[in-house]
């Protein structure tokens, strides 16, 4: 069996996702909202795209871009979150939280 449907479309997420600021952590362009925050709310709270857009004052396109970016880079983003949490925990244990 041979698939003869349309060729896959490549989507350039750079219109919506930026990594140049905020510690090079992927976030919504023009905002300090990490992609992982959007993805976590989608996974844990089972919010729809429209609900996420409302919750974070984003367009539905921005939400979809964040979810797609997360899906395509999940291992790397999850590792960043683990590393960031470990750094936070170290600082808190040393008393650097003031």
In a domain, 2, yes or no: no
Count of domains observed in the chain: 1
Distance CA 10, CA 38 (A): 22
In a domain, 64, yes or no: yes
Give the structural domain span for 69.
Answer: 14-73
In a domain, 53, yes or no: yes
Top-confidence residue, 31 or 8: 31
**Taking 70 as the threshold, does the pLDDT of residue 17 lie above it?**
yes
Q: Report, in angstroms and rounded to the nearest whole number, the Rg of the chain calculated over CA atoms.
A: 16
CATH number at residue 27: 1.10.10
In a domain, 26, yes or no: yes
In a domain, 38, yes or no: yes
Asked if 92 and 36 touch (Cβ cutoff 8 Å), the reply is: no
b/e map of 27-50 (b: 16 or more CB within 10 Å)? bbbeeebbbbbbbebbeeeebebe
Position 2 scores a pLDDT of 64
Q: Which helix (H) or strand (E) holds 28?
A: strand 27-28
Bridge partners of 17? Answer: 28
State the pLDDT confidence band at 97, using cuts at 50, 70 and 90.
low
Position 96 scores a pLDDT of 63
For a pLDDT cut of 70, what percent of the chain falls above it? 93
State the pLDDT confidence band at 1, using cuts at 50, 70 and 90.
low
Rounded to an integer, the average pLDDT of 22-35 is 90
Please state the pTM of the whole predicted model.
Answer: 0.79
State the pLDDT confidence band at 74, using cuts at 50, 70 and 90.
very high
């Amino acid at each position: 069996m041979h698939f003869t449907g349309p060729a896959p479309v490549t989507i350039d997420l750079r219109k919506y996702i930026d990594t140049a600021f905020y510690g090079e952590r992927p976030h919504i362009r023009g905002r300090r909202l990490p992609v992982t925050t959007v993805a976590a709310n989608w996974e844990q709270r089972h919010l729809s795209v429209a609900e996420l857009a409302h919750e974070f004052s984003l367009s539905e396109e921005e939400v979809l871009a964040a979810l797609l970016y997360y899906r395509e880079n999940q291992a790397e983003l999850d590792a960043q979150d683990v590393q960031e949490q470990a750094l936070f925990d170290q600082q808190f244990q040393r008393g650097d939280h003031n």
